[in-house]
Structure 1
Amino acid sequence: MTALLKSIAISLTVNALSLAFAAWIFRSFNIRFGWFVLAVVLVTLLTVTLREIVIGTVNRFARGYTIAGGLVLTALVLLLTELVVPETGFYIDGWGTWIGVVLIVWAAGIAYGEVDKKAPAPRK
């Protein structure tokens, strides 16, 4: 398996687990199984795409911006996913739930970055 396919597989798994965990923890985060698959694919696709854009435009050595940027990026990805997937399939209700879901998915993304040592290097 190539490094890119392995990276995508790990990312899909991490996103599936983090979204499932967040849905289990928060009653105000509703996700239905059929839409769950689409949501995981969208979150993975948007995260990879937006991360590449951010890496290409922001100084990677500014750690504070990286942490804050990761949280904003995660919130943006979840917002876009919520806009694409019908409300009956994916819905986050309330600020507390939004903050909690963003933190869970963001933390899982950080863990994914640590595990996925063979992720493709960013283009320069």
Structure 2
Amino acid sequence: MKKTILTISAALLLTTGVGVASAAPIKSPTTPTTTADFSTQASWTVTLKVGETYQLPYGKNYMYSAFPSNVVNVYFKVSSTGLVTALKAPFGLRPGEAVGAVGVWVNGGSDIGEFPIVITD
């Protein structure tokens, strides 16, 4: 019985150790920006590569709106929970130029912030 428990423990340790050892460091795709008025609204630039996603601030009754709207926007989409997905790289924009933005607010309440979206190759 002891031998079986030790074998199972060793197997679990090795299994979980592989995931930790092979995990790549997480890089934040955001570049914080500051504003001169120090308003209470959040704002930072989200920089993504095609296919990457980024979770915007999320809370109860938060609403998200892409500018230009998701109907027209072919570069990124935003879900009802604030998950931004980069769809394709823009053609003809200068490097670092935003392809649009996502506005976040509380349903029936105040603005949370606006987040410009930059997409790179």
Structure number with the higher helix fraction is: 1
Q: Which fold has the larger relative contact order, with Cα–Cα distance below 8 Å and residues 6 or more apart in sequence?
A: 1
State the TM-score, normalizing by the size of structure 2.
0.30
Structure number with the higher strand fraction is: 2
State the TM-score, normalizing by the size of structure 1.
0.29
